[in-house]
Amino acid sequence: MTTARRMRLAGCHECGQLSRLPQQHGHCPRCGAALHFRKPASLARTWAYLIAAMILYIPANTLPMMITGSIVGTQSDTILSGVVYLWTSGDWPIAALVFFASIMVPLLKMIAILLLLITCQRRSRWQPQQRIKLYRLVEFVGRWSMLDIYVVTILAALVQVQSLASIAAGPAAVAFAVVVVLTMLSAMSFDPRLIWDPLDDGQEQTGEPHESEH
Amino acid sequence: MSQNTETDPVQALPTATEDPPKKRSLQLVWIIPIVAALIGGWLAVKAVLDRGPEITITFRTAEGIEAGKTKLKYKDVDIGLIKHVVLAPDRQSVIATAELAKDTDSMLVKDTRFWVVRPRVGVGGVSGLDTLLSGAYIGMDIGKSKDSQRHYTGLESPPIVTAGLPGRQFVLNTAQIGSLDVGSPIYYRRILVGQVTGYQLNPNGKGVTMNIFVNAPYDKYVTLNTRFWQASGLDVSLDANGFRVRTESLASIVAGGIAFQEPNDSSDTARAPENAAFRLFSDQVLAMKTPEADAETFVMFFQESLRGLSVGAPVDFRGIVVGEVKSINLEYDPKAKNLLFPVEVSIYPNRLKARYRKGASAPVDARDDKHHKVMDALIDHGFRAQLRTGNLLTGQLYVALDFFPTASKAKMDWSESPVAIPTTPGSFGDMQNTAASILKKVDNIPFDGISQDLRKALQNLDSTIDRANRLVDRLDGDVATEAAKTLTQAKATLATAQQVMVEGSPLQQNMSSTLQEVRRAAESLRNLTDYLERHPESLLRGKPEEKP
């Protein structure tokens, strides 16, 4: 199956204009947006964001997420200690929810991107259908992974009774937010067409018609 | 997609504007993981650097201590956190492991102390109220030692004296602790100047050694000569001196306390060194007494009952207390086959010395010959001991020393020990003897004979009254008629007199004309005197001629 890249055609990301692109880079003749066959340096960017996210994932989990001050003293909780507290105090569903939303989801997201990156880098032809589904899932989940940050910011804004009780976001909140943003950026900079490129190299047919635009 | 109608739709597509081929700098995006790595690395390094020393503290109980929550505070600054609490292997105590902030190594020395701050309510006050809500925390007092230490044994109660508190520590020895306790106040002239910091039973079980702390600047009033006494509670005493209630302050009534002061005649004002040992007296009177060493013991044998004489009763010389009764014994004298009641007394010659050796500068040795001579001379002059009633209400006795010139001769035997001071029967004994002799005399009165005489006299009196009665009867008969006659005549005489005196009677008229004459005479006499007053010369020259 022929592809747009082989025919030297590229669609504009912004106005949708299909145009011929003799070189690797150019500009849309209609709107002037940058044109390219594949996202430039997609793998490198994805790698960079992913590595940064992975590094910051460590402080996000070890530093205190929320600092609760009240007349009975201040208490700082990491995400995990909060989960443990919820679990031991009997709120199992909430503990499970927080655990999945705050610990498992970012972790799985990073593992998924890592998997995609490695397979693409090695030009693997393994399970492209499953991998694109995985990519869609990562994209979809990305927008929900800021749950913790919402909770902390809402609580910090609501609970400010000065000396009686106050809640402040800890350093982990920043790290966690950065991790989420970085994983989203990482997922965004990944070009899913790279999954199909190895198949194209071998001239093999797949049931799925290839779109030049995503 | 394409609107073109040409055979090759691809060729009909517009060609993209060409871009000069440029090298995309991929390095820029790698800044992000580098920055992330830097931040992560910095956090890791900081965590390692901030990690302070770890110590273990052994407490008797983990009451109020919570792993991960209980803080270590020094001067209310958080310097650590209890990480976990476990039972000691012997299950007799708990071991709390605490992680301290960095740079606390210098605080962890040998005499650094830890204790749990909990709310405490005592007589002395309330402390740790803030921990009611916040939960207990571990207090800390940094020691002065240089030796580093990591394993501590926590105190059960907060220390009274924290390092750096100006003042000095002293040691008190006492027979019993009374109502004192750690934290009991110490007063100097009723000012709160310190506290009891601890006490322990002496190893032999006899006596208690107490540590006290006197705050600066009051510690300078503790001199080598200072006396300490228990100002505990309410001291109510009833003795020959009467009824006394003594207390230092309201708080000390409840909590007990110690007071100190130096004797009034003290001249030694050298400050006592740190940890100097003092004796703790049971009350102020004892504390202020001249030390026992100066006392001289005498013995006295009294003939009368010693009921009311107690150990500690004063020995008084004309109102000056010069000693006290040490003991009262019972002795059998085999020679005289008699029971004796020796009363041992301590006499402080120093109190007497200034009195009987006026102007003497050298201290008198109670045992030298000179002193003996003086005493012998005194005895010759009738110096005796006597029991007297100090308080009529309680019947308490005291020993009085005084001169009794009429006392029978006596001599002191200086070879004996203790020396006996001759006695004379006490005032109370005297009184008893006199009363007995009076009663004896009363007993001798012949009351029977007196009553017979009395009866005879009464019979005589009866007959006398009879005779008097008869006399009165006769008077009634004879004299009354005569008297009536006399009265009638007297009445007539009075009527005549009335007639004479009535107005208009000749006597009355004569009287009034006479009075008129007298008045005229008086008038002319007045005229004459008036004239003479104005013209005294007329007495010599006669009345001048009337001018026409």
Residue A201 has pLDDT above 90, yes or no: no
Contact call for B40 and A58, based on CB within 8 A: yes
Interface test with A, best of B35, B43, B65 (most A CBs within 10 A): B43
Residues of A in contact with B26 (CB under 8 A): 41, 44
Contact call for B134 and A51, based on CB within 8 A: no
Domain segments of chain B as ranges: 50-153, 167-288, 292-425, 437-462
> End-to-end alpha-carbon separation of chain A, Å?
18
Quick check: A77 and A64 in contact, CB under 8 A?
yes
Check if A44 contacts B (Cβ < 8 Å). Answer: yes
| Segments of B20-70 assigned E as strands | 54-59
pLDDT at B95: 92
Query: Of B262, B418, B241, which is closest to residue B321 (Cα–Cα)?
Result: B241
Residue A209's pLDDT band (boundaries 50, 70, 90)? very low
Q: Which residue of B has its CA nearest to A36?
A: B16
Query: Of B65, B51, B169, which is closest to residue B115 (Cα–Cα)?
Result: B65
Phi, psi of B167 (to 5 degrees): 150, -175
Q: Which residue of B has its CA nearest to A51?
A: B33
Distance CA A198, CA A38 (A): 13
Query: Of A54, A50, A59, A38, which is closest to residue A185 (Cα–Cα)?
Result: A50
Q: Number of residue pairs across A and B with CB atoms under 8 Å?
A: 99
One-letter identity of residue B189? R
- As a residue count, chain B comes to 548
Bigger pLDDT: A191 vs A148: A191
Residue A213's pLDDT band (boundaries 50, 70, 90)? very low
- ipTM exceeds 0.95: no
One-letter identity of residue B451? S
> How crowded is residue B506: how many other Cβ atoms within 10 Å of its Cβ?
8
Q: Which residue of A has its CA nearest to B134?
A: A72
Instruction: Return the DSSP state at B220.
Output: G
Residue A118 has pLDDT above 60, yes or no: yes
Residues of A in contact with B135 (CB under 8 A): 72-73
Instruction: Return the DSSP state at B116.
Output: E
The pLDDT mean for chain B works out to: 80
Query: Of B331, B355, B356, B359, which is closest to residue B343 (Cα–Cα)?
Result: B331
Distance CA B78, CA A43 (A): 48
Interface test with A, best of B2, B6, B13 (most A CBs within 10 A): B13
Residues of A in contact with B67 (CB under 8 A): none
> How crowded is residue A110: how many other Cβ atoms within 10 Å of its Cβ?
22
Strands B191-201, B296-301: pairing kind: unpaired
Q: Which of A19, A23, A175 is opposite residue B19, by nearest beta carbon?
A: A23
Distance CA B518, CA B522 (A): 6
Q: Mean pLDDT per segment of 10 residues, for chain B of length 548 residues?
A: 55 74 66 87 84 88 83 86 89 90 84 85 70 81 85 83 81 84 84 87 86 87 85 69 69 76 72 84 76 72 81 83 84 82 80 50 53 79 82 77 80 77 74 81 86 90 90 80 87 86 77 91 92 84 69
Query: Of B351, B339, B349, B412, which is closest to residue B379 (Cα–Cα)?
Result: B412
Instruction: Return the DSSP state at B390.
Output: E
Distance CA B501, CA B417 (A): 111
Residue A53 has pLDDT above 80, yes or no: yes
Structure tokens, B158 = 């907060």
Domain segments of chain A as ranges: 1-37, 41-201
Check if A22 contacts B (Cβ < 8 Å). Answer: yes
Quick check: B344 and B299 in contact, CB under 8 A?
yes
Q: What is the pLDDT of residues B82-121, one digit of tens each?
A: 888 999 899 889 999 998 888 888 888 888 889 888 887 7
Contacts of B280 (CB under 8 A, 6+ apart): B172, B173, B174, B210, B228, B229, B230, B258
Q: How far is CA B435 from the centre of its chain?
A: 41
Structure tokens, B433 = 């003897």
Q: Cα distance from A158 to chain B (closest Cα, Å)?
A: 23
Q: Which of A21, A27, A56 is opposite residue B36, by nearest beta carbon?
A: A56
Interface test with B, best of A55, A72, A78 (most B CBs within 10 A): A55
* Residues pairing with B277 in the sheet: B171
Give the three-class secondary structure for B274.
coil
Q: Cα distance from A5 to chain B (closest Cα, Å)?
A: 12
Distance CA B495, CA B483 (A): 19
Residues of A in contact with B82 (CB under 8 A): none
Structure tokens, B481 = 């008629």
- As a residue count, chain A comes to 214
Contact call for B16 and A182, based on CB within 8 A: no
Distance CA B425, CA B304 (A): 7
Interface test with A, best of B1, B29, B70 (most A CBs within 10 A): B29
pLDDT at B498: 84
Check if A73 contacts B (Cβ < 8 Å). Answer: yes
Instruction: Return the HEC string of B123-171.
Output: CCEEECCCHHHHCCEEEEECCCCCCECCEEECECCCCCCCCCCCEEEEE
Interface of B with A (CB under 8 A): 1-2, 10, 13-19, 21-22, 24, 26, 29-30, 32-33, 35-37, 39-40, 43, 47, 69, 71, 133-135
pLDDT at B361: 45
The structure's pTM equals 0.49
Q: Which residue of A has its CA nearest to B41?
A: A55
Structure tokens, A197 = 């490129």
One-letter identity of residue B417? S
The topology under which CATH files domain A41-201 is Butyryl-CoA Dehydrogenase, subunit A; domain 3 (1.20.140)
Q: How far is CA B284 from the centre of its chain?
A: 9
The pLDDT mean for chain A works out to: 80
Contact call for A27 and B19, based on CB within 8 A: yes
Q: What is the pLDDT of residues B203-237, one digit of tens each?
A: 888 888 888 889 888 888 888 888 888 876 666 77
Contacts of B130 (CB under 8 A, 6+ apart): none
Instruction: Return the DSSP state at A104.
Output: I
* Residues pairing with B322 in the sheet: none
Distance CA B317, CA B301 (A): 18
Check if A17 contacts B (Cβ < 8 Å). Answer: yes
Strands B258-261, B227-230: pairing kind: antiparallel
Taking the CA atoms of residue A38, residue A42, residue A43 and residue A45 in that order, the dihedral angle to the nearest 10 degrees is 170
One-letter identity of residue B479? V
Q: How far is CA A120 from the centre of its chain?
A: 17
Distance CA B253, CA B238 (A): 19
pLDDT at B122: 66
Residue A205's pLDDT band (boundaries 50, 70, 90)? very low
Contact call for B36 and A10, based on CB within 8 A: no
